[in-house]
Chains A and B, each alone.
Chain A
Amino acid sequence: MRGLVTVLRRGLAARRVRTATTAIAIAAAVAFLSGTYVLTDTIDAGVHRSAAEATGGVSAIVTEAGGFGGSLFGGTTTIHPGLVAKVRGVPGVSAAEGVAVGYAMPLDRRGHAVSSSAAIGVSAPADPRLRQFALRDGHWPRGADEVAVDATTAGTLHLAPGRTLRVALAGGARTFTISGVVGFGSAGTIAGVSVVAFTPEAAPGLLGTGGRYAAVAAAGEAGVPAAALARRIKAAVGAAYTVRTGSQQADRLAGDISGAASVIGAILGAFAVIALIVATLLIANTFTITVAQRTRELALLRCVGASRGQTARLVILEAVSIGLAGGVAGLFGGIGLAAGLRASLGALGLPLPAAAPVLRTHTVVASLIVGVGVSVVAAGAAALRASRSRPLAALSAGLTATGTRPPGWTRRIVATGVLLAGALLLVTTSARGSVALGALALLVGAGLAGPMLVRPLTAPARRLLPVAAGVCGRLAGRQMLRDPRRVAGTGGTLAVAVATVSIVATLAATTTSSRALDVRRSLRADYVLSTTPGTGAGLDPALTGRIERSPGVSAAAGMPCGIFRAPGDSDKLCGIDPKAYPRLVDPHASAGSMADLGPGTMAVSAVVAGRLGWRLGQTIPITFPVGGTRPTRIVALYDYEEVAGAYLIPLSDYAGHYPPDQQADQTILVRAADGARRQVRAELTALRADYPQAILDDRAGYGHRAAAGIDLLATMMTGLLALSLLIGLITVAVALALSVLERTREIGLLRAVGAEARQIRVIIRAEALATVVTGSLTGVALGLAIGWPLARALNGRVLGPPGVPVPLLAVVLPAAVVAGLLAAAVPARRAARLNVLTALRAE
């Protein structure tokens, strides 16, 4: 054992460059992984802290129990003022007030919305114990024309007490004087929302709550524990309401915000999985190469009497020490990476809470498992392969002749089978599960078949290289065929990284073109006034009335939308005027008739109905925020859901089933009389001065807008995945660096027979370029093959031809060339600078 440790120590020291290269590869892979975890945990901690700070002082909060949504400050706006009096009468309650919540978007000087996140208007309770935010500057609003704004908004718009602020409201924009600036504990705001606080008297009217409240906030008398108080209130208000203590409300709030940030969470989660896979591939590839390079040394050890176990222990001990060093370095590198990621996500417009980086146990464990565990497994497997050859054979084998046995028949058959099964699933099925399985099978199959695919896939590159770079290109091309397993490992890691990017891009492109087509086929209106989803914005139905009566308008209808619950689903439905809609939108009923849409009925998107197993004529119990559960009969199934949404009920039913603040229209469809389009457009443009939350589009423009929703998502995803590309590049750079070390003698020979340093550089570069370009294109192909079926599965169907991610395709080849040159930079310089004689004498 002692002898082995000496061999190990000497070995690590002697192969300093190789050891360092391996450790760097591991560190990069682990940093990628731990960075993702640290970022996720940091966001989570930030959310929890600001939520706790927000609700810190309040003893109990009462909200409606139906769970039809709501905001930071409460549930649906259905609470009658009578309930406030009831809570106030509960023994132990010293103060209780209703909290009015609605849409209020601060506008900048040019009248534009300050953010694309939720814009909350709220009443600031008169009793300071009931306020969920604290005054930082100025005073609380005292009159109907005064407001307080959150500190983040104040910072963005350079506001201070005494200045004026224009605020977009459902009923039209109004100008207020700023009385003060508020904050949520140490945070300016929570989850990126903007907050405008009004007096309790003015808020209901301005926010259009119809005298209802979203919550009742209560404070207890001294000595009454919050939990006891909440229990007493609960007993008084009954099952229709939920009562939470301040800290329970904080948890729920955190949950809600995480839910609101669930997009980020989902993206980061997916990203963590990709990080794990790519990091594993990188480390495995590195050890496969380094151990293969030492086949001869290991064989020599065997010849002088080392047992198989001893050589295996040597390799594994070495992997543990390098893996540990790289893993720990990567773990801490990840903290820096997380800070960078946070900043760049912030730059993309994602509001993330500020918090110190959080390093949890699972991050440490995952980093070390991947750093050390993958190193050991990969090194062990490579050592096993190396030890299969008889010691003498391995010794006499050329220095660089690694195991290039063609893959066995079992492997060929299994790989082909898995690939075919994956392709079949992707082509024939459209259920999410089976498409995901197909995608997985395709990737696994490609991984298994990798070494066999190297020859055909690199053929074009190998043919082009000699044309572009003469004999150097040919040498590079030959090098690629030398050890297909290695090329597959290196190019494959890159291909997986590129595939993830192009899956997202293909998904986005396909969804976008499908949605645009949906709008083009169904929209009859000439103009659409819409509000940004997620901001809580609405438009006063009176506005719709005004538009309808305008000269030149032949038809107009508003669509208010709200949450409902049904067995197996909770989603958004919209109300529509059955008389007006045929001239404005044709969702194209494939079963039943839209004309039958009357009281107690609904029309449902055929795709959604298919997913839920609902049929035409079936009666579904639908639960609404107001009026409880109603049996609702399906009278039509329709094809196009981009304008109409997935569920439609008659406007008259909607009015009865939703609280006043949800009566605001989210979309207004307008059709102009013949020849009056310009006039109508001018009128609508003029109206926007009072309703800046309304976005005016013509038909084509609305098609793009409906489609564009997915773009931010795709941008974020692509940004994150760009990092995985970086890892792919590091894989190539590491493999090249190791390959240069291994080929030192060949390089010496080349120089001895007349190669210039420049030509050596060209050879290394050509090899890098061929690997990166082939890997990237393979990745794109995989991305298209998986992205298209995935788009079909996720959207339920795809209209029109599959989308092609043109920007990605346009960028991938030049990017691959640049990346290849970058990856080759260090190895090529090293190779070119080798002293001829030293290189010739190298082991």
Chain B
Amino acid sequence: MPGSVSPTVTTAAAISAVGLSRRYGEGPTAVHALREVDLTVPANSFTAIMGPSGSGKSTLLHCLSGLDTATGGQVFHDDIEITRMSERELTRLRRERVGFVFQEFNLLPTLTARENVLLPLQLAGRRPDPGLLETVIGLLGLAERLDHRPAELSGGQIQRVAVARALVTEPRVVFADEPTGNLDRRSGTELLRLLRRCVGELGQTVVMVTHDPAAAAYADRVLFLADGRFAGDLADPTLPAILDRLDALEDDLGENGAER
């Protein structure tokens, strides 16, 4: 079961990776952060990526989103290969097709919340769709804090502004790297519900890296990584199911470690 590509997805794939590898450095000291990963992310779905620390989750997210360049394999957004794009094309991709939510340092401290939300549109010279803007802001419950600077916002509010910013360009996929990692449980839960609603109500596609099983339980599907390899997936995950899977992975890793 672990290591096989899930063939059950029938919806159109928003993202697919084939033989995706990422190596840092050369020779014997090279670190293989990703080894021949194959996967697909269906459109209009909420996908969580899980795995032990150092298993390559962030690297996978970066390669899938075009922030990092793979050293092997291909990544497709719909049917467009992004692994061969020039820097200019990647900038276009970031402007039009993807949105990001990071664990921390999501907002420019000199801009207000509203300005931060609008920033990608303005950098691209695009006008915000007023309807969408209103929907997003309403969805996130941010209306009152729009003219505040990041320094005046709570961690949860900052992450919500970051989500709004990611949504405002109507991207094909929103990538989030441990978006709840710095939040308390309540704010974290709130943010996850939000991401859930983005998928449900706005028809978004969300890919989220997390090490928190409770967070992953909000997703439609969880992909597991271990030591840079695809380690199976779990559709309609529940907390106990995820925990079982993680325990199994830890054991595997323990055995591998013993072998070495």
1/0 contact string of B100-120 vs chain A (CB within 8 Å): 101001111111000100011
Contact status A750-B111, CB under 8 Å: no
The interface stretch among A386-394, A661-669, A752-760 is A752-760
Partner of B123, one of A745, A746, A755: A755
Given A400-B109, A475-B110: A756 touches B88 (CB 8 Å cut-off)? yes
Contact status B109-A475, CB under 8 Å: no
* Whole-angstrom CA separation of A751 from B93 in the bound complex: 11
Given A752-B94, A755-B123: A478 touches B111 (CB 8 Å cut-off)? yes
B15 to chain A minimum Cβ distance, whole angstroms, is: 17
* Whole-angstrom CA separation of A401 from B110 in the bound complex: 10
B62 an interface residue at 8 Å Cβ cutoff?
Answer: yes
List the B side residues contacting A836 at CB < 8 Å: 67
A427 to chain B minimum Cβ distance, whole angstroms, is: 39
List the B side residues contacting A470 at CB < 8 Å: 122, 125
Given A752-B67, A754-B95, A840-B102: A398 touches B151 (CB 8 Å cut-off)? yes
- Residue of chain A at shortest CB distance from B150: A398
List the B side residues contacting A478 at CB < 8 Å: 110-111
* Whole-angstrom CA separation of A837 from B106 in the bound complex: 14
* Whole-angstrom CA separation of A150 from B109 in the bound complex: 71
B184 an interface residue at 8 Å Cβ cutoff?
Answer: no
Contact status B109-A401, CB under 8 Å: yes
B167 to chain A minimum Cβ distance, whole angstroms, is: 12
List the B side residues contacting A399 at CB < 8 Å: 105
B57 an interface residue at 8 Å Cβ cutoff?
Answer: no
A766 to chain B minimum Cβ distance, whole angstroms, is: 13
Given A401-B151, A478-B111, A749-B108: A754 touches B124 (CB 8 Å cut-off)? yes
Chain B CB count within 10 A is highest, among A478, A754, A755, A759, for: A754
Interface residues on A, range: 20 to 34
Contact status A753-B100, CB under 8 Å: yes
* Whole-angstrom CA separation of A399 from B109 in the bound complex: 10
Partner of B91, one of A471, A756, A837: A756
* Whole-angstrom CA separation of A26 from B68 in the bound complex: 38
B87 an interface residue at 8 Å Cβ cutoff?
Answer: yes
A619 an interface residue at 8 Å Cβ cutoff?
Answer: no
List the A side residues contacting B95 at CB < 8 Å: 754
Partner of A753, one of B88, B115, B123: B123
List the A side residues contacting B110 at CB < 8 Å: 475, 478-479, 481-482
* Whole-angstrom CA separation of A410 from B151 in the bound complex: 27
List the A side residues contacting B94 at CB < 8 Å: 751-754
Contact status A749-B88, CB under 8 Å: no
Contact status A745-B105, CB under 8 Å: yes
Q: Which of A392-431 contact B (CB under 8 A)?
A: 398-401
Q: Which of A274-306 contact B (CB under 8 A)?
A: none
List the A side residues contacting B151 at CB < 8 Å: 398, 401
B20 to chain A minimum Cβ distance, whole angstroms, is: 16
How many residues of B are counted as interface, with CB atoms below 8 angstroms from the partner's CB atoms? 30
Contact status B67-A750, CB under 8 Å: no
Contact status A837-B109, CB under 8 Å: no
Partner of A754, one of B87, B111, B123: B123
Partner of B105, one of A479, A481, A749, A755: A749
- Residue of chain B at shortest CB distance from A478: B110
B165 an interface residue at 8 Å Cβ cutoff?
Answer: yes
* Whole-angstrom CA separation of A756 from B96 in the bound complex: 13
- Residue of chain B at shortest CB distance from A754: B95
* Whole-angstrom CA separation of A754 from B119 in the bound complex: 9
Given A754-B95, A756-B91, A837-B67: A398 touches B109 (CB 8 Å cut-off)? yes
1/0 contact string of B111-147 vs chain A (CB within 8 Å): 1000100011011110000000000000000000000
* Whole-angstrom CA separation of A471 from B121 in the bound complex: 10
Partner of A750, one of B68, B99, B108, B125: B108
List the B side residues contacting A482 at CB < 8 Å: 109-110
Contact status A837-B122, CB under 8 Å: no
List the A side residues contacting B105 at CB < 8 Å: 399, 745, 749
List the B side residues contacting A745 at CB < 8 Å: 105
Chain B CB count within 10 A is highest, among A471, A474, A475, for: A471
List the A side residues contacting B96 at CB < 8 Å: 754
B26 to chain A minimum Cβ distance, whole angstroms, is: 18
* Whole-angstrom CA separation of A401 from B122 in the bound complex: 25
1/0 contact string of B63-77 vs chain A (CB within 8 Å): 000011000000000
A463 to chain B minimum Cβ distance, whole angstroms, is: 16
A401 to chain B minimum Cβ distance, whole angstroms, is: 7
* Whole-angstrom CA separation of A746 from B108 in the bound complex: 7
Q: Which of B174-223 contact A (CB under 8 A)?
A: none
* Whole-angstrom CA separation of A474 from B116 in the bound complex: 12
Given A745-B105, A752-B94: A759 touches B111 (CB 8 Å cut-off)? no
1/0 contact string of A473-515 vs chain B (CB within 8 Å): 0110011011000000000000000000000000000000000
* Whole-angstrom CA separation of A470 from B115 in the bound complex: 13
- Residue of chain A at shortest CB distance from B95: A754
- Residue of chain A at shortest CB distance from B115: A474
Chain A CB count within 10 A is highest, among B95, B120, B123, for: B123
List the B side residues contacting A752 at CB < 8 Å: 67, 94, 100, 102
* Whole-angstrom CA separation of A751 from B124 in the bound complex: 11
- Residue of chain A at shortest CB distance from B177: A840
List the A side residues contacting B109 at CB < 8 Å: 398, 400-401, 482, 746
* Whole-angstrom CA separation of A478 from B122 in the bound complex: 15
List the B side residues contacting A479 at CB < 8 Å: 110
A767 to chain B minimum Cβ distance, whole angstroms, is: 11
Given A753-B123, A759-B123: A837 touches B68 (CB 8 Å cut-off)? yes
Contact status B67-A471, CB under 8 Å: no
Chain B CB count within 10 A is highest, among A398, A481, A482, A745, for: A398
List the A side residues contacting B120 at CB < 8 Å: 753-754
* Whole-angstrom CA separation of A840 from B119 in the bound complex: 17
Contact status B123-A750, CB under 8 Å: yes
List the A side residues contacting B125 at CB < 8 Å: 470
* Whole-angstrom CA separation of A756 from B125 in the bound complex: 12
B211 to chain A minimum Cβ distance, whole angstroms, is: 18
* Whole-angstrom CA separation of A751 from B100 in the bound complex: 11
List the B side residues contacting A474 at CB < 8 Å: 115
Partner of A757, one of B87, B102, B111: B87
* Whole-angstrom CA separation of A751 from B94 in the bound complex: 8
1/0 contact string of A305-349 vs chain B (CB within 8 Å): 000000000000000000000000000000000000000000000
Contact status B111-A837, CB under 8 Å: no
Contact status B67-A753, CB under 8 Å: no
- Residue of chain B at shortest CB distance from A836: B67
List the B side residues contacting A400 at CB < 8 Å: 109
* Whole-angstrom CA separation of A749 from B107 in the bound complex: 8
1/0 contact string of B21-39 vs chain A (CB within 8 Å): 0000000000000000000
B241 to chain A minimum Cβ distance, whole angstroms, is: 33
- Residue of chain A at shortest CB distance from B100: A752
Given A398-B151, A754-B95, A837-B62: A749 touches B122 (CB 8 Å cut-off)? no
Partner of B111, one of A401, A475, A755, A840: A475
List the B side residues contacting A750 at CB < 8 Å: 108, 119, 123
* Whole-angstrom CA separation of A745 from B151 in the bound complex: 16
1/0 contact string of B236-253 vs chain A (CB within 8 Å): 000000000000000000
Chain B CB count within 10 A is highest, among A401, A752, A756, for: A752
A718 to chain B minimum Cβ distance, whole angstroms, is: 38
Pairs of residues from A and B, 10 with the lowest C-beta to C-beta distance, nearest first: A754-B95, A478-B110, A471-B122, A753-B120, A754-B94, A754-B120, A755-B123, A754-B123, A756-B91, A837-B67
- What are 15 residue pairs bridging A and B, where the CB atoms are less than 8 Å apart in the complex? A398-B151, A400-B109, A471-B119, A475-B110, A479-B110, A749-B106, A750-B108, A752-B100, A753-B94, A753-B120, A755-B123, A756-B88, A837-B62, A837-B68, A840-B67
Q: Given contacts A754-B169, A756-B88, could you give 19 more A-B pairs where the C-beta distance is less than 8 Å?
A: A398-B151, A400-B109, A471-B122, A471-B123, A475-B111, A481-B110, A482-B110, A749-B106, A749-B107, A749-B108, A750-B108, A750-B123, A751-B91, A751-B94, A752-B102, A754-B120, A757-B91, A759-B123, A837-B62
